[in-house]
Amino acid sequence: MKNKVRELWAEDKAVVNGWLSIPSTVTAEINARAGFDSLTVDLQHGLNDYQSALSLLQAISIGDSTPLARVPWLEPGIVGKLLDAGAVGLICPMINTPEEAEAFVRYARYAPDGERSFGPTRAVFEHGAGYANDANQQIVTLAMIETTRALDNLNAIISTSGLTGVYIGPSDLSLSMGYTPKLDQDEPAVVAAIERILTTAKDAGLRAGIHCLAPSYAKKMIALGFDLVTLGNDIRILATATASVIEETRG
């Protein structure tokens, strides 16, 4: 079983992650051929359900990007189904307590380390006959830190055994702190919170990811020490490119 995300981290390289919100195999195929290190199928705020997520995971497999998924919420059924469908990493939103972080890890791991039910229907074809032996060591679990409650419990969440790392949702984090929700934060208090999450995670030996918008901001986050940066999502990139060519033509 191969996980390019872990391979890049082992080489001390940052992962450039793409984000699939559109339930279309065509746009997923375009992104799969674009050269992202990983691609995340979003079932929370994206327009995907399980069936479209399965189709997108199949489309991702035509390229070299590692297939990840963001679950809609902390619930064991969807965690198991997305892993069985072939995702080798999961991002879970709104992890606010160590108990929630522990549950997330348990749901994503087979016994004796967890309580994931065995039945890797597509995963075994995608990742090989040794999947059962490799899954617990290879699957990436990233808990989203995006509220003041999570900040209050940060040290305990970071201490969760088996958790791969954290993933910052800047929009919800800033909203929870009383500021305007947006990516690419420049509000000093929010920036300080982001840096605190990063430092706490790295000091504990965990990985840290963050959702970005502009490539320049993503590069800044890599320089700061983040292990994974996401570049917007497919909807934003398509909308921005479309508006740009129209504006240029009319201008």
Q: How confident is the model at residue 150 (pLDDT cuts 50, 70, 90)?
A: very high
Q: Where are the domains of the chain?
A: 4-250
DSSP assignment of the chain, as one string? ---HHHHHHHTT--EEEEEE-S--HHHHHHHHTTT-SEEEEESSSSS--HHHHHHHHHHHTTSSPEEEEE-SSS-HHHHHHHHHTT-SEEEES---SHHHHHHHHHHHS-TTT--PPS--TTHHHHH-TTHHHHHHHH-EEEEEE-SHHHHHTHHHHHT-TT--EEEE-HHHHHHHTTS---SS---HHHHHHHHHHHHHHHHTT-EEEEEESSHHHHHHHHHHT-SEEEE--HHHHHHHHHHHHHHHHH-
Question: Taking the domain 4-250, which CATH number applies?
Answer: 3.20.20.60
Span 134-154, mean pLDDT? 98
Could you tell me the two tokens for 142?
């990233």
Catalytic, out of 2, 45, 202, 220: 45
What does the pLDDT look like over 102-115, one tens digit per residue? 999 999 999 999 99
The backbone torsions φ and ψ at residue 144, rounded to the nearest 5 degrees and listed phi first, read: -80, 125
Residue range 40-87, pLDDT digits in tens: 999 999 999 999 999 999 999 999 999 999 999 999 999 999 999 999
45 is catalytic: yes
- The predicted structure's pLDDT at residue 2: 87
pLDDT in tens, 9-39: 999 999 999 999 999 999 999 999 999 999 9
**What is the per-residue pLDDT across 169-192, written as a single tens digit (0 to 9) for each?**
999 999 999 999 999 999 999 999
